[in-house]
Structure 1
Amino acid sequence: MRPGRATPPVTVAVAVSGEMAADPVAAALRAQSRLRVLGREQAARAEAMLVVARELDEQTLQVMHDADRPPRGSGPRVVLVAERFGTDRQLLRAVDHGLVCVLPRARAGLDRMVLALLRTRDGRTAPGPPASVVRTLRADLRALRHQSSSGLSGLALDPGEAEMLRLLADGLSSEDIAAALNCPVRKVQHVIHRSCTRLSLGHRTRAAARAT
Structure 2
Amino acid sequence: MTSQTGLVTRPADRAAGRESEERARVAIWAADPITLTGLTQTLTARLDVFVAGDEHPGDVDVLVFAPERVDAAATAALRRAVARWSAPVVLVTGDLDRSHLMSLVESRVVAVLHRSAATEQRLMRAIDLAARGGGAMPPNLLGDLLRQIKDLQQDVLAPLGMNSASMTPREIDVVRLLADGLDTEEIGNRLCYSQRTVKNIIQAMTSRLNVRNRPHLVAYGLRTGVI
Answer yes or no: is 1:91 the counterpart of 2:124: no
The question of whether the paired residues in 1 share the 8 Å contact of 2:71 and 2:97 is answered with yes
> Quick one: distance in 2 between partners of 1:19 and 1:123?
29
The question of whether the paired residues in 1 share the 8 Å contact of 2:126 and 2:136 is answered with no
The 3 A distance-change label for structure 1 pair 79 and 96 is same
Question: Which of structure 1's runs of 4+ aligned residues deviate more than 4 A?
Answer: 40-44, 137-140, 186-189
Query: 2:223 is matched with which residue: 184, 190, 206?
Result: 190
The question of whether the paired residues in 1 share the 8 Å contact of 2:43 and 2:49 is answered with yes
The alpha carbon displacement at 1:116 in A equals 0.5
The 3 A distance-change label for structure 1 pair 39 and 9 is same
Answer yes or no: is 1:113 the counterpart of 2:123: yes
- Higher Cα Rg, which structure: 2
Which deviates the most, 56-65 or 27-36?
56-65
Q: Percent identity?
A: 19
Q: Which runs of 5+ in 1 are unaligned?
A: 145-153, 162-185, 196-212
State the TM-score, normalized to the length of structure 1.
0.57
The alpha carbon displacement at 1:54 in A equals 2.2
Give the superposed CA RMSD.
3.8
The alpha carbon displacement at 1:126 in A equals 4.5
The 3 A distance-change label for structure 1 pair 80 and 23 is same
Which residue does the alignment assign to 2:89? 78
> Quick one: distance in 1 between partners of 2:220 and 2:130?
13
Which residue does the alignment assign to 2:23? 9
The alpha carbon displacement at 1:20 in A equals 4.1
> Quick one: distance in 2 between partners of 1:137 and 1:62?
21
Total equivalences in the alignment: 156
The 3 A distance-change label for structure 1 pair 40 and 156 is closer
Which residue does the alignment assign to 2:68? 54
Which deviates the most, 37-46 or 102-111?
37-46
The question of whether the paired residues in 2 share the 8 Å contact of 1:44 and 1:69 is answered with no
The 3 A distance-change label for structure 1 pair 20 and 130 is farther
State the TM-score, normalized to the length of structure 2.
0.54
Q: Which runs of 5+ in 2 are unaligned?
A: 1-17, 160-168, 177-218
The question of whether the paired residues in 2 share the 8 Å contact of 1:44 and 1:68 is answered with no
> Quick one: distance in 2 between partners of 1:190 and 1:122?
15
